[in-house]
Amino acid sequence: LCLVAPFTWAGFNVLYKREFGNLDPFSTIGVCLIIGSFVMIPFYSSAAGSLGEFSGSQWVWMIYTAIGGTVLAYYLWYWALQRLEANKTMSYNYAVPISALLWSWLVMGILPSSLSILGGVILVGGVYLTQTQRLVKRKGERFEFN
């Protein structure tokens, strides 16, 4: 599953950009959530029993996850996909671990390790490089820096 998911996600984004890029992002989210709900039906029975045991704060976080982490995030994703190339939009996936790191620090008080901070800096650098013009272009047999 871990090996297949990135390929299906990348394939979906390229297909969306090419075939459905003019659709309203909310419509796209709605269709994806409906399809995803059907895929999740086999797992519903094991999770449904624990919903009644949630505290008020857990419900708040669940609603935040549904609205902020799903609807808003995917709306922005499809909005960007309509305006940018698919490969440029995909590079923002690398911001997800940084976001998780920041939220775990702000919400749960978990201080990031120096290795996590270094990884975050490398990820930000990678996203920056993919969003800027090519640094190197081929000219004959040698490379020249712009």
49, pLDDT greater than 70: no
Yes or no: say if 101 and 112 are a contact pair by the CB < 8 Å rule.
yes
Domain end point (choices 82, 100, 120): 82
**CA 12 to CA 18: how far, in whole Å?**
10
Per-residue model confidence (pLDDT) at position 129 = 82
Within 8 A by CB and 6+ apart from 145, the residues are 135, 136
Q: 2 and 65: one domain?
A: yes
pLDDT tens for 115-127 read 999 998 998 888 8
State pLDDT tens for residues 59-110. Answer: 888 888 888 878 888 888 888 888 887 777 777 777 788 888 888 888 888 8
Is residue 90 located within the same domain as residue 51? no
For the record, the structure tokens of 22 come out as 């003019």
98, 76, 80: which is closest to 89 by C-alpha?
80
Residue 132, pLDDT score = 76
Kindly state whether residues 56 and 99 are assigned to the same domain. no
Q: 140 falls in which pLDDT band (50, 70, 90)?
A: low
